[in-house]
Structure 1
């Protein structure tokens, strides 16, 4: 089965408090676990960047839920397409607080092909490199 991924950025609504954010994350994790979706949500206190991966049919439903959510606005899809292997196979959904600089770097980087380029001589980091750098300390 081919897995697919979607990445997007959005702006949190001003009234999104910590309790509501916790409830949203718990609901998303439950849904994703049942649907076979994994992913990560970066949050800098004002903006989100989410990457989700899994079977195409389940991903369509999950993304529909995301688009309909009343917790954010100004949703910008950064990328959508097939992925070779899961980047976050053990996270049904993980919220990672991050700084605005790290979130901006990931959002404005190259999302084509969901590839990592770090370590290749002369290659600038791709979006997946920035995402991996933020997530890496939390993988242990």
Structure 2
């Protein structure tokens, strides 16, 4: 089997793009990608759990701040005197920054994990197509066997 696949920073990448894959090669790579997909889905689940925990910590800190402070949070809306959600978020970011930024970081980690799951799923589909092509080429009389 030719080693034409490596795990890079952005997922699995081809080392040699012009390599001819046999059906056995593509089956091996499909299994690797399937394992990677399972790992990435587990990481996504963990990232979601971490995001929920970070949100809980943020909401508890926000509630504690509002009870302990005489400051009123800005009202979100489109009327005069109201602010956008982004401005309200910035208001909290200044007052309870540790919890706010932990929540923001958890959201980014979860989104990155989700993006990676979709990337691996796409790679699985590409490898399935290559598998079909390899089998067709391999089964063509006079070409493969």
TM-score between the two structures when normalised by the length of structure 1: 0.23
Higher helix content, 1 or 2: 2
Q: Which is greater in Rg?
A: 2
Higher strand content, 1 or 2: 1
